Structures are given as C-alpha cells and as structure tokens.
Amino acid sequence: MINKKWAVFSPLLLLLIPLIGMLFSNEVNWSFFDFIIMGILILVMSFGIKLVLKTTPKRMYRILIIGIILILFLLVWAELAVGVFETPFAGS
C-alpha cells in the first residue's frame, strides 16, 4: 500500500526533470518562481483528477472530464512557457 503523503506529492517528482536539466544544460533556465508556479499547476491538476475519479460514477464522464483537465493544464503550461495566446501573463 502506498503511503498517503507519497501519493499526494508524487506528481511533484515531475519537477525533478527541469531541475536535472538545469544541472547538465544551459538550455533549461528555470527560476525559483517557475518551480513554484509549475508545482502549483501540477498539484491542482492532480487533485482535480483525483476528485473526478472519486466523485464521477460513469466511466465515459470520467474520461471526458479528465481529458478536459489535461488539455487545460497543457494550454496554461504552453501559455506560461512561450505565450501561445499572447496574454499578459505569458512568459515572454
């Protein structure tokens, strides 16, 4: 059985990818603020998916809602990274 603390914070292990990338390459240049924002985005996405899995009874609705959550996550991530939609909070 997985410890509950591990299950809550395991999505944050994704933040190790850019951290390790910063050690080996100058192409990855994240600030502390970037890690905080991405951590918040990952936690919100994972808690949203967990909530959908607990509360939605029909499998088709689960797939649809989780797909929407993932698309929204990817759109916000792309906007913050490169400014796809050129909003004021874009990273460029």
Q: Which tens digit of pLDDT belongs to each residue from 1-28?
A: 456 666 667 888 889 899 999 999 999 8
Q: Which tens digit of pLDDT belongs to each residue from 42-88?
A: 999 999 999 999 999 999 999 999 999 999 999 999 888 888 888 88
Q: How far is it, in rounded angstroms, from Cα 43 to Cα 71? A: 15
Phi/psi of residue 49, nearest 5 degrees: -65, -40
Domain ranges of the chain: 4-82
Q: Which tens digit of pLDDT belongs to each residue from 27-42?
A: 989 999 999 999 999 9
Phi/psi of residue 31, nearest 5 degrees: -95, 175
